[in-house]
Amino acid sequence: MGVSKGNRKSVGGFDLVNTVQQRTLKNSISCAGIALHSGIKVSMVLGPGEPGSGIVFKRTDIAGGGAFIQATWERVVDTNMRTTLGNDDGVTISTVEHLMAALAGCRVDNATIEVNGPEIPIMDGSSWPFIFLLECAGIVEQDAPRSVIRIRKPVTVRDGDCVASLIPGNGFSLAFEIEFDSPAISRQSISIDLGNGAFKKELARARTFGLLHEAERLQASGMALGGSLDNAVVISGDRVLNEDGLRYDDEFVRHKALDAVGDLYLAGAPINGHFSGICSGHATNHRLLQKLFADKDSCRHDLFSADEAEADDMEAAWAGGSVATIGATA
């Protein structure tokens, strides 16, 4: 798992003994698909990133240096039905949450994502196709220690019935609850510890969903133009219209949890703590990160220790097989 070995060494006051290394993609890999909201066909290339560079989006249809957008909470410019990032030049990339969740679940720290349009392809509406692409590309360790954001005290935001919280805890765990008037959804809840490859098993295949009677309103506002039964669970009354039904009995709440994993990975590093969401969406998740980083005492940036990495051993086994190493360990 890339644990540093040898004599005791520190950088910036951090002890590098028994730390875990950052990871990136071994190879580049491409895909193409329909964008959920714009309805256009877009192509995307997932590629390696330099140590410490984080997740960076590049709009290949935009000329010049203004095409780059850093995937951080500070770059969120819109949270209406999706998470949209933008740079100082006004260039945006939207619907990043499912891909960000896959990158978090596969523990990819650094990557360059090239897209020839304003939106990430929706694929099947879940993170599963992105997990598959990342596994095919392979994942390698880099000669740089991985950081973690440790929650030091509870942080909560509320917006009507929507609540999102982060509290101190070991590893990263998540609890989520939703309630809809639709009898096909009703009230659902989930609580999960996201270690030992749990993201892939428990959340990755959960698809985005929508109510049929809301489709016309969304499309009139220029959204969901690419939505179909191929990339979303569609509900009419008490029925799920998708021929193959649901992938999980509680697929709806699992998808909202998936969204939260993706939104929270915009923190810039994995979070060590417990997230709780009640009817929380992209806007509430973003406000939670804003509040978290507005109070310097609410969290601490630290190095990811080898002890914490033990829970990731199973993830390494499925995220591209044996993990290779770039460079020498510290």
Cα 237 to Cα 41: distance, rounded to the nearest angstrom: 31
Residue 123 covered by a domain: yes
With a CB cutoff of 8 Å and minimum separation 6, the contacts of 198 are 192
Residue 245 class from Cβ within 10 Å (0-12 exposed, 13-18 middle, 19+ buried)? exposed
Read off the pLDDT of residues 68-95 as tens digits, 9 standing for 90 and up. Answer: 999 999 999 999 999 999 999 999 999 9
Q: Is the pLDDT of residue 5 over 50?
A: no
Cα 143 to Cα 14: distance, rounded to the nearest angstrom: 15
Read off the pLDDT of residues 151-178 as tens digits, 9 standing for 90 and up. Answer: 999 999 999 999 999 999 999 999 999 9
Q: Is the pLDDT of residue 1 over 80?
A: no
Read off the pLDDT of residues 179-209 as tens digits, 9 standing for 90 and up. Answer: 999 999 999 999 999 988 899 999 999 999 9
45 and 111 Cβ atoms separated by less than 8 Å: no
**Which residue did the predictor score with more confidence, 306 or 304?**
304
Residue 327 covered by a domain: no
Cα 221 to Cα 243: distance, rounded to the nearest angstrom: 28
Read off the pLDDT of residues 225-244 as tens digits, 9 standing for 90 and up. Answer: 999 999 999 999 899 999 99
24 and 46 Cβ atoms separated by less than 8 Å: no
Number of domains the chain contains: 1
Cα 3 to Cα 310: distance, rounded to the nearest angstrom: 10
Task: Identify the domain containing residue 170 by its residue range.
Answer: 19-322
The mean pLDDT of the chain is 89
With a CB cutoff of 8 Å and minimum separation 6, the contacts of 136 are 29, 320
Residue 99 covered by a domain: yes
Residue 277 covered by a domain: yes
Residue 191 covered by a domain: yes
SS (H, E, C) 196-212: CCHHHHHHCCCCCEEEH
pLDDT of residue 309: 60
What are the structure tokens assigned to 54, written together? 């984080």
Residue 276 covered by a domain: yes
Q: Say which CATH number the domain at 220 has.
A: 3.30.1700.10
Cα 198 to Cα 271: distance, rounded to the nearest angstrom: 16
Residue 210 covered by a domain: yes
With a CB cutoff of 8 Å and minimum separation 6, the contacts of 167 are 151, 154, 155, 273, 274, 276
| 270: helix, strand or coil | coil
| 232: helix, strand or coil | coil
Q: Is the pLDDT of residue 306 over 70?
A: no
pLDDT of residue 325: 36
Question: What percent of the chain shows pLDDT beyond 90?
Answer: 79
Cα 127 to Cα 145: distance, rounded to the nearest angstrom: 26
Q: What is the CB neighbour count within 10 angstroms for residue 291?
A: 15
Minimum mean pLDDT among 111-120, 194-203, 302-311: which range? 302-311
Q: What is the CB neighbour count within 10 angstroms for residue 169?
A: 15
Residue 65 covered by a domain: yes
Return the active site residues. Answer: 282
Q: Is the pLDDT of residue 58 over 70?
A: yes
Q: What CA–CA distances, in Å, run from 326 to 16, 22, 193, 225, 230?
A: 17, 10, 30, 42, 39
Q: Given pLDDT bands bounded at 50, 70 and 90, which one contains residue 310?
A: low
pLDDT of residue 218: 85
Mean pLDDT of 232-257: 96
Mean pLDDT of 260-282: 97
